Amino acid sequence: MTDEPERTDRVRTAHTADLAPAALDEIRALLDAAFDGDFSEDDWDHTIGGIHAVVQDEQGLAAHGSVIQRRVLHRGRSLRVGYVEGVAVRADRRRQGLGGRVMEALERVIDRAYVLGALSASDEGAALYAARGWAVWPGRIAALGPHGVVPLPDEEGSTYLRPVVAAGLPDASDALFFDWRGGDLL
């Protein structure tokens, strides 16, 4: 027996509407720190409005990720996509499996509620997603903007998909057209 508080590291999920303002402030602070201050208001807007997976320890929020709904047009069909946002682990808790546990909770939501999962991976996060079976989208990516199609060649190679088993991956010979939003489109 030690004098240290026990770490439970239990993953909890909740919709944004069910999180107290203080919890949202704590999530925002974690994301600001994890992204070295490069987490904009648009990035924050993209992170809220869906299901959050959080891990608390004795020091507070240790890890976070969320999945929000987006629409993706592929071959004339509008797909309901669970889009992963704001995945971060506090610096002192990295490389302890918390990112994987957050993703496991988000993947459960995606697998039960969406046709497809999608995310845009940083260089640092790509290995986590690949190890969990997410696949790099090999085709073209664009967004449907207010004035038409906006190609997103910089997102090609860093956009990962998680197919729901019955649906499989879309045909890569045709582009994925993501819905429009402010800030980074993916």
Give the residue numbers spanning the domain of 70.
11-178
How much is the pTM?
Answer: 0.91
Buried b (16+ CB within 10 A) or exposed e, 53-91: bbbbbeeebbbbbbbbebebbbeeeebebbbbbbbbbbe
- Residue 53 above 80 pLDDT? yes
CATH number of the domain encompassing residue 124: 3.40.630.30
The verdict on residue 128 lying in a domain is yes
DSSP line for 21-40: HHHHHHHHHHHHHHTTT---
Across the range 65-93, mean pLDDT stands at: 96
Least confident of 40-49, 126-135, 166-175: 166-175
The verdict on residue 66 lying in a domain is yes
The verdict on residue 3 lying in a domain is no
pLDDT single digits (tens) 132-179? 999 999 999 999 999 999 999 999 989 999 976 555 677 888 899 999
The verdict on residue 183 lying in a domain is no
